[in-house]
Amino acid sequence: MNSPSSVEPPGLAFGWPDDKLRTQTDVFRLPGGESVMVRVISPQDADGLQAYMRNLSGLTRRNRFLGAVSELTPKELERLTHMGGPGELALIVFGRVGAETAMIAEAIQAIAPQSQRCEIALSVTDAWQRKGLGTLLLSHMECRARLLGARYLVGDVLRTNDAMKGLARKAGFAIRGPFKDARLIEIVKDLSSPPTGLPCREQFSAPQLIAA
Ligand SMILES: CC(C)(COP(=O)(O)OP(=O)(O)OC[C@H]1O[C@@H](n2cnc3c(N)ncnc32)[C@H](O)[C@@H]1OP(=O)(O)O)[C@@H](O)C(=O)NCCC(=O)NCCS
């Protein structure tokens, strides 16, 4: 795949300051009616993120981390909760579970320096899978990647991960590989074509958002 070698400064492509991309909190309603809140992670979320990861099923964790993992290492926890560099973002999602509000999904994206490839990874906790949250997060990340000036949205996925392959295909990604690692395929979406559906700015403002 050809990747152009530079990326515009974050947010500037659409005149939207990077700070706004980092601090925005959005509330959405899933197709089944459940409300979910999406916001950027902060260092204070470390314990919550670790608890979220521990509560995932082994299969969901394996698919998320491309191998057997029981919890985040301190280094990885630090990295995920401090993703504040240029072109980096980590999102967490909360939903109502009984009377409580719980972390139910997470997603990260990162554009390496001098690259237009925005790498993504995400997970949805088992009980919330197949409710449209993965679709919402992918769409959210695609919009943010476009706003950050990325050309490609890419992710490494286990070849056996039918859920992610299905989600990616539905969201317009191509599936490539395996390349170096026979266990993995790459999902790729070329963002040079205009987004389908609502433009990003409209997608993340009323009327699709609902009150918190
Ligand atoms: C992949 C994942 C994020 C999907 O999230 P989700 O919230 O369940 O996805 P959605 O509900 O938006 O599903 C959208 C589409 O994806 C496909 N899909 C989702 N789960 C599927 C499954 N278990 N089997 C086959 N297709 C599946 C379907 O086409 C689905 O559309 P449909 O429900 O109308 O048939 C979730 O299964 C997950 O967290 N998996 C573990 C982590 C992971 O694999 N991360 C990716 C690598 S980093």
What is the spatial distance between Cα 105 and Cα 125, in angstroms, rounded to a whole number? 6
Residue with the smallest CA separation from ligand 1 atom 26 is: 163
Q: What is the mean pLDDT of the chain?
A: 84
Residue 63 CB–ligand 1 contact under 6 Å: yes
Q: Please, what's the b/e burial string for 138-157 (b: 16 or more CB within 10 A of its CB; e: otherwise)?
A: bbbbbbbbbbbbbbbbbbbb
Pick the more confident residue, 24 or 205: 24
Residue 123 CB–ligand 1 contact under 6 Å: yes
Domains of the chain: 10-203 (3.40.630.30)
What is the atom index within ligand 1 of the atom nearest the CA of 167? 16
**ω before 178 within 30° of 0 (cis)?**
yes
Q: Is 136 exposed, middle or buried (0-12, 13-18, 19+ CB in 10 A)?
A: buried
Residue 122 CB–ligand 1 contact under 6 Å: yes
Give the tens place of pLDDT for each residue, 2-17: 333 333 333 333 333 4
Q: Mean pLDDT throughout 67-78?
A: 95
Q: Mean pLDDT throughout 164-172?
A: 96
Paired tokens of 106: 């997470």
**Percent of the chain, pLDDT > 70?**
81
Are 18 and 149 within 8 A, CB to CB? Answer: no
Q: Is a pLDDT exceeding 70 seen at residue 18?
A: no
Give the tens place of pLDDT for each residue, 111-137: 988 899 999 999 999 999 999 999 999
pLDDT in the model for residue 156: 96
pLDDT in the model for residue 132: 96
Residue with the smallest CA separation from ligand 1 atom 44 is: 63
Pick the more confident residue, 179 or 198: 179
Q: Which of 44-53, 115-124, 171-180, 196-205 has the lowest mean pLDDT?
A: 196-205
User: Residue 129's closest CA among 44, 70, 56?
Assistant: 56
Q: Mean pLDDT throughout 90-112?
A: 93
**Percent of the chain, pLDDT > 90?**
64
Residue with the smallest CA separation from ligand 1 atom 23 is: 163
What is the atom index within ligand 1 of the atom nearest the CA of 155? 48
pLDDT in the model for residue 128: 98
Pocket test for ligand 1, best of 164, 170, 173 (most atoms within 8 A of CB): 164
Q: Is 137 exposed, middle or buried (0-12, 13-18, 19+ CB in 10 A)?
A: buried
Contacts for 36-39 with beta carbons within 8 Å, 24 or more apart?
A: 36/93, 36/94, 36/95, 36/104, 36/105, 36/133, 36/136, 37/93, 37/94, 37/95, 37/101, 37/212, 38/91, 38/92, 38/93, 38/136, 38/137, 38/140, 39/91, 39/92, 39/94
